[in-house]
Amino acid sequence: MEMQVMEAGDHHGELFYQLALTYVPGVGSKTGRALLERYGSAAAIFKLPVKELKNNDGITDIRAKGFKDPEVMNKAEHELDYVLKKDVQLIFHGHNYPNRLSNCSDAPLVLFYKGNADLHAAKVVAIVGTRKNTDYGHQLCEELIEGLQSLENVLIVSGMALGIDGIAHKKCVQLGMPTVGVPGHGLDRMYPHSHRELAEQMIENGGLLTEFPSETLPERNNFPMRNRIVAGLSDVTVVVESPVSGGALITAHLASGYNREVAAFPGRVNDTRSAGCNELIRTNIAALINNTSDLVELMNWDKERKPKAIQKQLFINFTPEEQQIVDLLQARDNVHADELFHQTGLANSQLAATLLQLEMQGIIKSLPGKYYRMY
């Protein structure tokens, strides 16, 4: 993955201001995105006078003065030193940011990344579950990953926790499959400590990704925030084994809220460690799956592309709107509806009508989670 590069010693470049933007009190990702869209760069925002900053929605007098706070600059300087010295990739909104996560309104402005996995992989599967798994859950998790190994360009994402998360990461390492862990702390530490060696192995063929800067401790409130990154990165979240409360259920509900697919393995009706999975299935939040084949079918990953279908469209006279969409889909395995909206500039109603027309012609296919691809 391409990393933003800044010369050592140049601590007032765009990278510095991108970090500084995340330290301004009261300015979250939504406000930050709005400012970036209006002014073009983080550096430009910080060079604005307080009076101009106050003309933006959500920027009070106190928040505007925060852009001039020396403490904000000191924190950014400190973190920039860490990023450069430890070879951490800083992924900023709009700069090679994971495409699926960018479609989530609450996605963080900055991600810290160590590793080499493709965060834009064609198929991204989040596997989550209880920290206190049974042998049943352990077996299901390993068999699921073994089955996914046969697919092309698959990335497995989880949260680095004990139990199902760790089992998923370890199985990927064993099979040589790329896997990305999303810890609830900075990259200068590893929690739980027992996963330190695993984390190092994952960086060699996968990676670690977090929104938290260095020196961030694994505090309790960080883990629900971490879960939205796991859900937002993925096409589908699979809950292997979970009670009715806990991080796995939070991740599943977040994924559903992002219009992503959710799947769960059923368990015995009186098994508390499968009660969460059964409840997700009962309330139609998750699709019931028994094996990898069920998941592949749910995601339409069992349908190979037919070259002749792509060839067929060459003889069709597309409207300018249709041609825009076809060009975007031909360049990628699949594209989310939100991205098509932003890339084409079409109104929502016009985009929906054009997509429907292409689908009726057999040119494109709709996928779960509002994704589209060429037939």
pLDDT at 12: 62
Q: Side chain identity at 95, as an amino acid letter?
A: H
Q: Within 13 Å of residue 85, how many CA atoms lie on the same side as its CB?
A: 9
Please report the DSSP string for 325-346 in residue order.
Answer: HHHHHHTSS-EEHHHHHHHH--
Q: Within 13 Å of residue 15, how many CA atoms lie on the same side as its CB?
A: 23
pLDDT at 359: 85
pLDDT at 331: 81
CATH of 307-374, one of 3.90.1150.200, 1.20.140.10, 3.40.640.10, 1.10.10.10: 1.10.10.10
Residues contacting residue 74 through CB under 8 Å, at least 6 positions apart:
none
Q: What is the pLDDT of residues 179-235, one digit of tens each?
A: 999 999 999 999 999 999 999 999 999 999 999 999 999 999 999 999 999 999 999
pLDDT at 251: 96
Measured distance CA(179)–CA(185) in Å, rounded: 18
Report CA-CA distances (Å) from 192 to 113, 179, 220, 231, 355.
18, 17, 13, 21, 46
Burial of 60: CB neighbours in 10 Å, binned 0-12, 13-18, 19+: exposed
pLDDT at 130: 96
**CATH class of this structure's domain 14-101:** mainly alpha
Segment-wise mean pLDDT, segments of 10 residues, the chain, 375 residues: 39 84 92 91 93 90 92 95 94 90 92 96 97 95 96 96 97 97 97 96 96 95 95 97 94 94 95 95 95 94 55 64 90 84 87 87 81 84
Domain ranges of the chain: 14-101, 116-298, 307-374
pLDDT at 111: 97
Measured distance CA(161)–CA(295) in Å, rounded: 23
Residues contacting residue 123 through CB under 8 Å, at least 6 positions apart:
151, 152, 153, 154, 155, 235, 299, 301
pTM of the model: 0.78
**CATH class of this structure's domain 116-298:** alpha beta
